[in-house]
Amino acid sequence: MASDYTENAVLTFRVLGPLEIMSEGSPHSVQGSFQAILLLALLLRRDRFTSAEELMDEMWGQGHPHKPENALQAHVSRLRRWLRAVEPGRPESRLTSQGSGYRLLYEAGDEFDAATFEQVVTGLRPETGRPARAAADRAARLRSALGMWRGPVLGGITGGPICQRGVKHFEEIRLAAYEMLFDAELERGDHAAVISEISELAGLESAFQERFCEQQVIALCRSGRHADALDVCRGPWYRLVAAGGGSFRALRYYEHAILRHDPILNTPQARMAGWLDSGPGGIAPRNGRQGAVSGTANTGVKLAPRV
């Protein structure tokens, strides 16, 4: 006999911004910071069991309350009751226990916005042997995915090690999505329209900063703004490299290419990684990203919804 539980009652957990749980189109919020951290930790563990010790460390760190096991069990029971209240038609509890561990049941691709975002971005990454989507299609899909972000991931909740790793992970995927988006926009000739977007991210400290500087230079050159492109090489990019966050070889490569009006700057795949074996003036481009600034900025920048 079919259950009364329907798709309309399925929860959607949203963490790409303030923590929000959607049920039948209505938003719900858990009560209290400990409940929020507990739910986030279980979400970020991706349908895997998390030990009581890990959860206690996540919620209280070194400041455990008296009898932390009892306190954790109380929070788990409270969260389980809350989940049942917002999803009364579900035949089984989403929050399960086994031994001294706990697991939150959900469909990663449908009920967790961060997992959905990651799947979209991963699916658009170029892979050998798989035909690439048209640049316009890639750009549209990436903008749609980036539009899922409503603010800083986890709403700025720091939590413990699990939450902190989750923040870093999804922020890195977000910046990778912007890198792919700008590549697609440049490939389809929309360089002038994305200069301000690229410039904003190129000015923020992140592991992708040098790559955004590269894209900024390419966009400026293709828009006929060679002097501005040189300013990037001799200003913000130079300061990034001088601080140990980039490659002097890449910087010099682009500076020489601009001064020589090298036609490589106008090719669809103009980027340092994968260019020629040697660049202008005999300078060999570096392979891959080097000298990345440690840490990833939680930028909160909202750029994507442009069509």
- The residues facing 51 across adjacent strands are 101
The residue ranges of the chain whose pLDDT is under 70 are 1-9, 109, 127-132, 268-307
Alpha-carbon span 39 to 14, nearest angstrom:
11
Domain positions in the chain are 10-110, 217-292
The pair phi, psi for residue 13, each rounded to 5°, is -95, 120
* Residues 16-52: b if buried by 16+ CB within 10 A, e if exposed: bbbbbbbbeeeeeebeeebbbbbbbbbbbbeeebbeb
Distance, in Å, from the CA atom of 114 to the CA atom of 154, rounded to the nearest integer, reads 10
What single-letter DSSP state applies at residue 153?
G
At residue 252, the pLDDT reads 87
Q: Give the separation between CA 174 and CA 220, rounded to whole angstroms.
A: 23
pLDDT tens track for 33-46: 999 999 999 999 98
The Cα–Cα gap between 267 and 295 comes to 32
**Domain at 10-110: CATH architecture:** Orthogonal Bundle (1.10)
- pLDDT of res. 295: 35
Question: Would you state the pLDDT for residue 267?
Answer: 72
CB contact at 8 A, 226 and 262: no
Handedness of CA 238, 241, 245, 249 (dihedral sign): positive
